[in-house]
């Protein structure tokens, strides 16, 4: 740019800036061309990203249609959902079922006697709890937690399957009770409690009792007090409240005539007569349940009321759900089904019932109807067709040329988008191999392609007939599937690289079955011959399962006199461990006569399956149980070939490896055991890809985030944009330098012209002066 002393055209009278801008503009022509290319490429990227988004939407719907579960959609009607709800849990068959709910499953609940507050001293020592036949959990209370609240927290942290809470019954004396609730419902899940606490008032979960009388409306003029009789003992089994009301009016002195007091427990009622002080008076009749009272000397006032609460530790009995299936009409005999929970499977095939309440005289039974929901399946197929047509319409709009308006689509002639369009169109007319029913292409179920390349259901009856009468083959028409001649070799999944098999299938040869890792101890004496005593010197286990280390597992202190008793204890404590409890470790023993060995086996298969002891813990039980020198045997992965091609095993999953010509990405689950292996092929599978699966594979290759066709195309365009942007920046820098140079040249030109002008003016002056001098000289001569 010119300097501050530059005055444009002062000497040349030229518009210097205009001239230079014209020169730069002419030289910038190829930059303008590159910017136009940038705009076109940016537009191309926008189009490709739009197409990719639509294809991803189509892929989501196509993936769902390629899933066999899409063809198992069911409709389940329950006549009255206030009694039960129902959901599909598997393959549902059409049918109608009459169900009576006779009983709901309940969790066992028991409560202790009352305490004055949550910090009441309950003693120290061992408090043992268990749920049903599960192993006993021992909680040790010491001076740090020997309160009602401390026991509650210890139970909740024990992993015994029992929750504890403290409730207040609202009475004025000893209102706080410890409530235990089984986490699992059902009659087998009874809570068992053994207390060995000393030095305080231990919670009692077995003794029914009456609470001390509590005055309600008690006149200030009443001087007599009421207490429980000496022989009072509650022989009932329900929690209830007795309410007592003194008859008559005014002050009545005990011992000066009979005083009648009415009572009720809400159901039963009666009257007791007080004739003298400090005399035990027993309630009589229904509902009395062993309650007796005693009144001290003094006065009572008519209308006085007081109450006595009867307490039973059994708050709620553990019980199973009981359901009757069928009807007794016409001499029928319903089937009675029990369940430990209110979630009941397979009373109706493939249906899970959630029971809510017991049927009654008003609604003695509910009707459950099940059927395949062919309308939902059809809707899903039609939804995919609609989405496909929307994608194709959008792609066509980018590629078309309108002769009337002479307007071209944004991607007219784009070879990559033309290829995508062609590949999508071709799949609508493919034939699925391996089907014998004549249902091998979309046209066979009434779906055809129009002249405009769009799909439509042109024969609605053909599609509905396939849904109603040939759903198995319709499923195969759309999904990937395997027919295996061995039920222990089943299809898991495949990829776009997996090729359909010929009609005679692929042979599967297994050279190694999958196994589970285990820990096997050394021989110890049979506990029935030599009982095993566990105490605080040998009560602890710590094991690692599949790289997960357990907490310290403490066995119950007792003498074990059978293998079953010992295994049950170890199994229960492992199952209760927070780290490995849900990993399915199986504890067993092998009895070899006078000795035997313990075995701890992982539930998982493969090389990652392993059970190991963790040495170096205090009070270890490993020596006592024969586990100190135990052998840890890792599991093995399945091994073999599919169609003669290399396959890699992971647990029970056998997968065709990358690069295989036919079986790349094919995953099979092999549940064979060593005894199942035979010479030659262990299974033969026919693998075929349905239309939706093939579409899904294609869409995957088109839309993968980094390796997909569109992603690579967008990446290539972005590279071109980046390269051109760099070139434009270089040219802009060059033109800026060129512009500066031109301005410098014009400034130099103006300076030279100024010099020339100054010199000319000086010459003119000198010449004029010479001329004047010359003229003056002549006239003087």
pLDDT per residue as tens digits for the range 524-553: 999 999 999 999 999 999 999 999 999 999
Of 487, 492, 462, 495, nearest to 477 by C-alpha is: 462
Average pLDDT of span 120-126: 94
DSSP state of 248: S
- Domain presence at residue 328: yes
Phi, psi for residue 686 in degrees, rounded to 5: -105, 120
Tokens of 467: 């849904």
User: Which range has the worst mean pLDDT, 357-371, 629-643, 705-719?
Assistant: 705-719
- Domain presence at residue 425: yes
Per-residue burial over 619-646, b = 16 or more CB atoms within 10 Å of its CB, e = otherwise: ebbbebbbbeebeebbbbbbbbbbbebe
Higher-confidence residue: 148 or 25? 148
Containing H/E element for 524? strand 524-525
Q: Is 111 exposed, middle or buried (0-12, 13-18, 19+ CB in 10 A)?
A: buried
- Domain presence at residue 64: no
Does residue 21 surpass a pLDDT of 90?
no
Does residue 48 surpass a pLDDT of 50?
yes
- Domain presence at residue 18: no
User: Which range has the worst mean pLDDT, 101-115, 231-245, 295-309, 705-719?
Assistant: 705-719
- Domain presence at residue 409: yes
User: What pLDDT is stored for residue 4 in this prediction?
Assistant: 43
Residues 508 and 648 in one domain: yes
Of 559, 391, 289, nearest to 53 by C-alpha is: 391
Round to whole Å and give the CA distance between 383 and 656: 33
pLDDT per residue as tens digits for the range 511-520: 999 999 999 9
Residues 325 and 418 in one domain: no
Q: Residue 257 sits in which domain range?
A: 210-312
pLDDT per residue as tens digits for the range 391-434: 999 999 888 888 787 788 878 888 888 998 999 988 788 888 76
Round to whole Å and give the CA distance between 442 and 457: 9
Tokens of 287: 């509902």
Residues 525 and 471 in one domain: no
> Are 610 and 545 contacting, i.e. CB atoms less than 8 angstroms apart?
yes
Does residue 7 surpass a pLDDT of 70?
no
Tokens of 712: 């690579």
Does residue 1 surpass a pLDDT of 70?
no
pLDDT bucket at 14, cuts 50 / 70 / 90: confident
User: What pLDDT is stored for residue 399 in this prediction?
Assistant: 87
- Look up tokens 């043992």; give the residue: 128
Q: Which range has highest mean pLDDT (481-485, 589-593, 594-598, 601-605)? A: 601-605
Residues 523 and 626 in one domain: yes
Average pLDDT of span 233-253: 94
User: What pLDDT is stored for residue 781 in this prediction?
Assistant: 53
Q: Residue 587's CB: how many other CB atoms inside 10 A?
A: 19
pTM: 0.67
pLDDT bucket at 777, cuts 50 / 70 / 90: low
Residues 357 and 405 in one domain: no
- Domain presence at residue 227: yes
CATH number, domain containing residue 174: 2.60.40
Instruction: Establish how many alpha carbons lie within 13 A of residue 546's alpha carbon, considering only the half-sphere containing its beta carbon.
Output: 20
Residues 188 and 214 in one domain: no
- Domain presence at residue 733: no
Per-residue burial over 665-701, b = 16 or more CB atoms within 10 Å of its CB, e = otherwise: bbbbbbebeeeeeeeebbbbbbbbbbbbbbbbbbbbe
Residue that terminates a domain, selected from 668, 688, 708:
688
Residues 470 and 392 in one domain: yes
User: Which range has the worst mean pLDDT, 104-113, 304-313, 365-374?
Assistant: 365-374
Q: In the chain, what percentage of residues exceed pLDDT 70?
A: 98
Does residue 631 surpass a pLDDT of 90?
yes
Tokens of 98: 């009459």
Phi, psi for residue 720 in degrees, rounded to 5: -65, -40
User: What pLDDT is stored for residue 323 in this prediction?
Assistant: 95
Average pLDDT, the chain: 90
pLDDT bucket at 5, cuts 50 / 70 / 90: very low
DSSP bridge pairs for 653? 650, 669
Residues 219 and 278 in one domain: yes
pLDDT per residue as tens digits for the range 562-594: 999 999 999 999 998 989 999 999 999 998 888
pLDDT bucket at 8, cuts 50 / 70 / 90: low
Per-residue burial over 740-777, b = 16 or more CB atoms within 10 Å of its CB, e = otherwise: eebbeebbeebeebeeeeeeeeeeeeeeeeeeeeeeee
- Domain presence at residue 54: no
How many domains are there within the chain?
A: 6
- Look up tokens 């907490």; give the residue: 551
Tokens of 313: 């530790």
Residues 642 and 510 in one domain: yes
> Are 732 and 726 contacting, i.e. CB atoms less than 8 angstroms apart?
no
Round to whole Å and give the CA distance between 122 and 148: 6
Higher-confidence residue: 452 or 703? 703
Q: What angle do CA 328, 329, 335 make, to 5 degrees?
A: 25
Residues 248 and 396 in one domain: no
Residues 180 and 288 in one domain: no
User: What pLDDT is stored for residue 402 in this prediction?
Assistant: 80
Round to whole Å and give the CA distance between 464 and 471: 10
Residue that terminates a domain, selected from 667, 688, 709:
688
Residues 614 and 658 in one domain: no
Helix, strand, coil share of the chain (percent; to 5): 30, 30, 40
């Amino acid at each position: 740019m010119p300097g501050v002393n530059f005055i444009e055209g002062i000497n040349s009278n030229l518009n210097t800036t205009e001239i230079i801008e014209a020169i730069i503009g002419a030289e910038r022509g190829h930059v303008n061309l590159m910017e136009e290319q940038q705009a076109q490429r940016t537009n191309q990227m926008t189009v490709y990203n739009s197409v990719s988004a639509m294809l991803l939407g189509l892929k989501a719907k196509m993936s769902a249609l390629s899933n066999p579960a899409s063809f198992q959609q069911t409709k389940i009607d329950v006549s009255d959902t206030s009694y039960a709800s129902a959901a599909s849990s598997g393959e549902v068959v059409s049918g109608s079922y009459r169900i009576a709910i006779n009983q709901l499953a309940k969790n066992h609940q028991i409560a202790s006697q009352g305490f004055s507050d949550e910090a009441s001293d309950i003693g120290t020592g061992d408090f043992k709890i268990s749920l049903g036949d599960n192993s006993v959990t021992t909680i040790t209370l010491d001076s740090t937690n020997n309160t009602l609240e401390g026991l509650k927290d210890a139970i909740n942290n024990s992993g015994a399957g029992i929750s504890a809470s403290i409730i207040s019954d609202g009475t004025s004396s000893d209102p706080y009770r410890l409530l235990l609730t089984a986490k699992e419902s059902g009659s087998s899940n009874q809570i068992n409690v053994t207390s060995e606490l000393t030095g305080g008032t231990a919670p009692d979960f077995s003794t029914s009792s009456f609470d001390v009388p509590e005055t309600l409306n008690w006149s200030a003029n009443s001087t007599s007090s009421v207490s429980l009789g000496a022989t009072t003992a509650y022989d009932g089994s329900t929690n209830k409240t007795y309410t007592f009301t003194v008859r008559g009016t005014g002050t009545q002195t005990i011992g000066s005539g009979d005083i009648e007091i009415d009572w009720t427990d809400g159901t039963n009622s009666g009257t007791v007569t007080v004739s003298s002080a400090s005399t035990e008076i027993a309630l009589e009749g229904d509902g009395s349940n062993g309650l007796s009272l005693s009144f001290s000397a003094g006065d009572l006032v008519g209308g006085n009321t007081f109450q006595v609460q009867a307490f039973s530790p059994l708050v709620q009995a553990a019980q199973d759900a009981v359901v009757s299936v069928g009807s007794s009409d016409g001499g029928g005999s319903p089937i009675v089904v029990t369940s430990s929970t209110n979630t009941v499977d397979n009373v109706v095939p493939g249906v899970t019932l959630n029971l809510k309440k017991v049927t009654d005289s008003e609604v003695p039974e509910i009707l459950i109807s099940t059927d395949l929901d062919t309308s939902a399946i059809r809707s899903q197929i039609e939804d995919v067709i609609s989405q496909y047509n929307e994608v194709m319409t959008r792609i066509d709009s980018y590629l078309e040329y309108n002769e009337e308006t002479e307007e071209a689509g944004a991607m007219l002639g784009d070879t990559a988008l033309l290829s995508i369009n062609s590949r999508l169109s071709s799949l609508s007319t493919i034939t699925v191999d391996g089907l014998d029913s004549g249902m091998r292409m979309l046209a066979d179920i009434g779906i055809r392609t129009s002249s405009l390349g769009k799909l439509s259901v042109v024969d609605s009856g053909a599609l509905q007939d396939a849904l109603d009468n040939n759903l198995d083959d319709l499923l195969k028409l759309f999904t990937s599937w395997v027919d295996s001649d061995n039920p222990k070799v089943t299809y898991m999944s495949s990829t776009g690289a997996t090729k359909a098999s010929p009609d005679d299938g692929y042979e599967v040869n297994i050279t190694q079955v999958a196994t589970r890792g285990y820990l096997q101890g050394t021989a110890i004496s049979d506990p029935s011959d030599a009982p095993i005593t566990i105490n605080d010197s040998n009560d602890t286990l710590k094991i690692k399962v599949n790289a997960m280390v357990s907490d310290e597992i403490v066995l119950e202190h007792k003498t074990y006199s059978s293998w079953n008793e010992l295994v049950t204890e170890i199994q229960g404590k492992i199952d209760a461990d927070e780290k490995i409890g849900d990993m399915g470790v199986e504890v067993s023993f092998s009895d070899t006569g006078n000795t035997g060995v313990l075995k701890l086996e992982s539930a998982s298969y493969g090389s990652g399956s392993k059970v190991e002891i963790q040495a170096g813990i205090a009070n270890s039980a490993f020596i006592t149980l024969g586990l100190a020198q135990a052998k840890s045997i890792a599991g093995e992965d399945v091994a073999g070939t599919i169609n003669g091609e290399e396959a890699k095993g992971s647990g029970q999953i056998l997968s065709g490896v990358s690069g295989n010509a036919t079986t790349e990405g094919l995953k099979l689950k092999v549940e064979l055991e060593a005894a199942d292996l035979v010479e030659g092929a262990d299974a033969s599978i026919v693998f075929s890809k349905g239309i939706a699966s093939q579409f899904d594979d294609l869409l995957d290759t088109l839309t993968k985030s980094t390796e997909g066709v569109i992603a690579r195309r967008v990446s290539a365009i972005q590279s071109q944009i980046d390269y051109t942007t760099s070139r434009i920046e270089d040219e802009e820098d060059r033109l800026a330098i060129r512009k500066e140079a031109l301005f410098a040249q014009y400034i130099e030109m103006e300076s030279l012209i100024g010099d020339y002008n100054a010199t000319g003016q000086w010459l003119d002056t000198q010449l004029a002066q010479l001329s004047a001098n010359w003229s003056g000289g002549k006239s003087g001569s």
